[in-house]
Amino acid sequence: MSNKTIHWNGGLQPEAVNILSADGGMIVCPTKVGYIIMTSDAKGLERKFDAKQRNRNKPGVVLCGSLAQLKELAQLNPEIESLYQQHWDQDVLLGCILPWKEEAVARIPEDGSKELMMDRRQTSCFVIKFGVPGENLAKELWENHGKFSFASSANPSGKGNRGLVEGIGERIESQADLIIEANDYVKSIQPNESEKTRYEQGVMVAMVDEQGKLVPEQKGERNITPCPVLIRKGLDVDKIMSMLSDTFTTWDYRHGNYY
């Protein structure tokens, strides 16, 4: 691997903070399910799209290092908030498609970030408990540098990285400013799975209707629609479906139903 690759120090990686707190930084960071590209502004997002040679129609993934940050950025209702709290308490990776709070949108730099981190419905996927290396970074960047953390899988489009830093591909490797390697950490999350059987992604649940408006509260009543939709299965999907069922009487399973 290149000399820009360092082994994760087990805590907050200062080299990564330096890069992402500056303009246009782009790093590769380990998560529970594999490696991601992490950026913190529009210039970094542009570099990410270029490195991945990707089209731009997917909702941006916003990494939240704390529930306080999530609540500042995303529109929630009490049921969605309680679902996130359960996942937080049990250290389970969860990403929900949610609308932004208006006051949070006002904090997004006027540098083109908005167009790159939301879909056409003005929603993003807000993720918690995605793995200690990135959680530490997202928390530090938000609380001490006022910067967002955006994520995208670090793999050549259409190919998984198999949870190995060696799998991120030459293009991403050559374009990243820093690569944090922690193959051992990634492996420890799904220790008994092979490259064939391991989950390469986290579960995603859409909490919005087709216009991007938040689903209504259900308050224990039946057949309330629109309802939450599990649109991508992934790590801990069984636990997540169980928690969804505890909170919501009605929810849908539609894997692959992105846009």
Kindly report, residue by residue over 78-110, the tens digit of the pLDDT: 999 999 999 999 999 999 999 999 999 888 777
pLDDT for the residue numbered 256: 85
196 vs 190, more confident: 190
Rounded CA-CA distance 135/176 in Å is 19
C-alpha 45, offset from chain centre: 14
Task: Kindly indicate the confidence band of residue 215, based on its pLDDT and cuts at 50, 70 and 90.
Answer: very high
Helices (H), the chain: 14-21, 42-52, 67-73, 78-89, 102-105, 113-117, 132-145, 170-175, 183-189, 237-247
Output the pLDDT for position 60.
Answer: 83
CA dist 196 and 18 (Å) reads: 36
What is the model's pLDDT at position 47?
92
pLDDT for residue 157 is more than 90: no
Cβ atoms 104, 73 nearer than 8 A: yes
Residues written for the chain: 259
222 has a pLDDT exceeding 70: yes
Residue with tokens 């793995």: 131
What pTM does this model have? 0.95
In this prediction, residues 188-196 reach a mean pLDDT of 94
Residue 1 pLDDT > 60: no
> In the prediction, which pLDDT does 18 show?
98
Distance CA 67, CA 62 (A): 13
Which SS3 state, helix, strand or coil, does residue 87 take?
A: helix
Identify residue 25 by its one-letter amino acid code. G
Residue 107, pLDDT score: 81
Q: How high is the pLDDT of residue 89?
A: 98
Structural domains in the chain, sorted by start: 5-253 (3.90.870.10)
Which amino acid, residue 171? R
Q: CA 93, 136, 122, 234: dihedral to nearest 10 degrees?
A: -20
pLDDT at 219: 97
Pairing verdict, β 252-253 and 229-232 = parallel
CA-wise closest residue to 244 among 82, 98, 104, 107: 82
Interval 9-52: pLDDT, tens: 999 999 999 999 999 999 999 999 999 999 999 899 889 988 98
What pLDDT was estimated at residue 160? 82
As given in the structure block, the two tokens for residue 112 are 């083109």
Determine the Cα–Cα distance for residues 24 and 41; give it in Å rounded to an integer.
6
- CA distance from start to end of the chain: 37
Q: At what angle do helices 237-247 and 78-89 cross, to 10 degrees?
A: 140
Alpha-carbon dihedral sign for residues 232, 139, 129, 104: negative
